[in-house]
Amino acid sequence: MAVMWIQIILLLAACLLPLSAEAMVRHYKFNVVMKNSTRLCSTKPIVTINGKFPGPTIYAREDDTVLVKVVNHVKYNVSIHWHGVRQLRTGWADGPAYITQCPIQPGQVYVYNFTLTGQRGTLLWHAHILWLRATVHGALVIMPKLGVPYPFPRPHMEQVIVLGEWWKSDTEAVINEALKSGLAPNVSDAHTINGHPGPVKNCAEGGFKFQVEPGKNHLLRIINAALNEDLFFKIAGHQLTVVEIDATYTKPFNTDTIVIAPGQTTNVLLKANHASGKYLVASSTFMDAPIAFDNMTATAMLHYTNTLGSTITTLTSLPPQNATPTADNFTDSLRSLNSKEYPARVPKKVDHSLFFTISLGVNPCASCVSGSRVVAAINNVTFVMPKISSLLQAHFFKKSGIFTDDFPGKPPVMYDFTGKQQPANMRTNRGTRVYRLAYNSTVQLVLQDTGMIAPENHPIHLHGFNFFVVGRGKGNYNPKKDTRKFNLVDPVERNTVGVPSGGWTAIRFRADNPGVWFMHCHLEVHTTWGLKMAFVVDNGKGPNESLLPPPSDLPKC
């Protein structure tokens, strides 16, 4: 009899289990406050969330709704972007200032309200206005639904690793000085790992440390939150197994070095296969163009639990900053997991075939030091931000005069983009132009770097979607030859992709999210210079395919 009762109770428990696994509402409060911070032997006030650098980690599960109440206590206008969150029908919570919302002004409050649908893994959040994201950023960890395992060995422990960049000066002063002169802004003075550059000579500066247990697997959630630099990341004496990028699972592969662009995330398994010891963790710049960069290496320490203080640290050497083969090797190893549970739904038919050139340029500027200013453009359009409304409000309320939907699908002139040939002049057009897409239409977008001024690796980020990286190559894209080599089976799926120096990248996505979606270079300096545009995706049929109305607390301009 007792056995039967136990069986009944177990049965009941099994029925009730799905209920307890139901999605939750997660509440977070973000107070935007100034904080004095000591790095590199100097104290400066920085803008932070809740006084933390990096900011707090948001933890949630797939299907959860996240409510983040942002209260602005600083003198700057603020907005926060949930980088990589699809924001299905909730574009109002996406965050880029003047694209999906007006900024949260000093003293104001806004509640970001979004649901994590069909995504699990590591993403990041960051300020999306001015250069505030230099210090206003943090991790966003989406755990799988309760009871759903990872498609890789369960880690013993998880560790978030946020890579950043540090300026001794105030970052707003750095970009304002550059905008005034028309020249490039100063590069950063150090890189950071979880907020720390590592030991600095003559400074009371320690580095970030974390522990591992011998013989166990550890999941590292690595985020590049730097403003302007692609980074190499390496741990002495250890192989890393890549299992996920940008919150999508990959086919696992081993590597000793990862390459990560601003806005990208990479989850790796670290097998602690030594008995004890201290091992150096390092991050430094990947830059394969003749452009000024920060040459400081950030270091942290991986520490085996049973290690005595005197054990010697193992050093590591990082690839040189121009190690393109190392970077290419890493990028070419990435594949979608493409399993039954996590299929790669690559669009096979293309409705919009777009070709975008990415270039720097020079426009006249009477007040600038050399009479001209450096700008950046896509298809020769330097994007101008609206001032009196966000694009999304203009779109939703059908307000004219804010943008035009004539963004060109191809460049005005075709030439040898690799830099062997320079166009007649370096000027660009300015405009607030968007590209319009019908709901559920499919897009193939080839992003071509140009040698205008200098070729450079540009990490391009698309809001509102994941895309598939179907191809990538050096030189000029050749539609006949290159299309045949596209991977339409298991291409990697992500939200930020590097367009290689003097080369191209091809992506595909389905426009199944109504709203206005920003696309821009994630090197903040290039975004500032105008390397940005937006897609408008119209509503489809019925409420499930339509943008929700704006929340009542949406900030006003």
* Shortest Cβ 483–ligand NAG spacing (Å): 20
- Least distance in Å: CB of 13 to ligand NAG? 27
Closest CA to 534 of 99, 102, 131, 101: 99
346 in contact with Cu ion (CB under 5 A): no
- Of 505, 555, 9, 542, nearest to 261 by C-alpha is 505
Our finding on whether 523 is near Cu ion (CB under 5 A) is: yes
- Shortest spacing between CB 548 and ligand NAG, in angstroms: 6
User: Please, what is the minimum distance in Å from the beta carbon of residue 364 to Cu ion?
Assistant: 22
Q: Which is nearer to ligand NAG, 88 or 261 (CB)?
A: 88
Q: Which among Cu ion, ligand NAG, none contacts residue 423 (Cβ within 5 to 8 A by kind)?
A: ligand NAG
Stretch that binds Cu ion, among 262-270, 274-282, 519-527, 535-543 (CB under 5 A): 519-527
Give the whole-angstrom CA distance, residue 201 versus residue 283. 18
Among 226, 521, 533, 537, binds Cu ion (CB under 5 A): 521
State the residue number with the nearest CB to ligand NAG: 169
Distance CA 263, CA 286 (A): 15
Provide the minimum distance between the beta carbon of 270 and ligand NAG in the complex, in angstroms, as a whole number: 16
Q: Which residues pair with 269 in a beta bridge?
A: 219, 241
Please check whether residue 424 is in contact with residue 361, taking contact to mean a CB–CB distance below 8 angstroms: no
Angle (nearest 5°) at CA 433 between 430 and 437: 155
Cβ neighbour number for residue 6 with a 10 Å cutoff? 10
Closest CA to 238 of 252, 257, 223: 257
Query: Least distance to ligand NAG from the beta carbon of 328, Å?
Result: 9
Using CA atoms, how far apart are residues 249 and 492, in angstroms rounded to an integer? 9
CB of 295 or CB of 305, closer to ligand NAG:
295
Residue 521 contact among ligand NAG, Cu ion, none, beta carbon within 5 to 8 Å by kind: Cu ion
Strand partners, 178: none
Separation CA 172–CA 60 (nearest Å) = 32
Cα separation of 260 and 327, whole Å?
A: 9
26-34, 169-177, 385-393, 513-521 -> range binding Cu ion (CB under 5 A): 513-521
Q: Given the complex with ligand NAG, which of 307 and 432 has the nearer CB atom?
A: 432
Strand pairing report for 503-510 and 515-521: unpaired
Q: Under rule CB under 5 A, which residues in 429-488 are in contact with Cu ion?
A: 458
Q: Using DSSP bridges, classify how beta strands 515-521 and 532-537 pair: parallel, antiparallel or unpaired.
A: antiparallel
Give which of Cu ion, ligand NAG, none residue 425 binds (C-beta under 5 to 8 Å, depending on kind): ligand NAG
Q: Decide if 138 contacts 58 (C-beta within 8 A).
A: yes
Structure-block tokens of residue 321: 């900053």
Beta carbon of residue 31, minimum distance to ligand NAG (angstroms, whole number)? 12
Q: Looking up tokens 């698309």, which residue turns up?
A: 462
Q: Which residue is nearest to Cu ion (CB)?
A: 521
Residue 184 Cβ vs ligand NAG, minimum distance, rounded to whole Å? 10
First to last CA, the chain: 70
Choosing among ligand NAG, Cu ion, none, which partner's interface includes residue 186 (Cβ < 5 to 8 Å by kind)?
ligand NAG
d(CA 333, CA 335): 7
Considering CB distances under 5 to 8 angstroms, the limit depending on partner class, which of ligand NAG, Cu ion, none binds residue 14? none
Site of interaction with ligand NAG (CB under 6 A): 34-36, 45, 67, 77, 102-103, 105, 111, 113, 169, 173-174, 177, 186, 253-255, 295, 325-326, 329, 333, 380, 412-413, 423-425, 427-429, 440, 542, 544, 548, 557
329 makes contact, choosing from ligand NAG, Cu ion, none, with CB < 5 to 8 Å by partner type, with ligand NAG
**Min dist. Cβ of residue 411 to ligand NAG (A):** 6
Compare residues 75 and 480 and give the one whose CB is closer to ligand NAG: 75
Nearby residues of 514 by Cβ (< 8 Å), 6 or more positions away: 89, 91, 439, 537, 538, 539, 540, 545, 546, 547
Name the minimum Å distance from CB 405 to ligand NAG.
20
Q: How many residues does the chain have?
A: 557
Q: Which does 526 bind (CB under 5 to 8 A by kind): ligand NAG, Cu ion, none?
A: Cu ion
Q: Which is nearer to ligand NAG, 154 or 541 (CB)?
A: 541
Q: Residue 540 to residues 114, 354, 392, 401, 510: CA-CA distances in angstroms?
A: 20, 22, 16, 24, 13
**Residue closer to ligand NAG (CB basis): 253 or 397:** 253
Residue 111 C-beta: closest distance to Cu ion, Å: 32
- State which residue, 142 or 334, has the beta carbon closest to ligand NAG: 334
Q: Which of the listed partners (ligand NAG, Cu ion, none) does 458 bind, with a CB threshold of 5 to 8 Å by partner kind?
A: Cu ion
| Residue 126 touching Cu ion (CB under 5 A) | no
| Longest distance between any two alpha carbons in the chain, whole Å | 92
In whole angstroms, give the CA distance from residue 175 to residue 173.
Answer: 6
DSSP string covering 487-500:
--SS--EESEEEE-
For residue 520, give the nearest of 133, 112, 119 by alpha carbon. Answer: 133
Q: Where does this chain bind Cu ion (CB under 5 A)? A: 458, 521, 523, 526
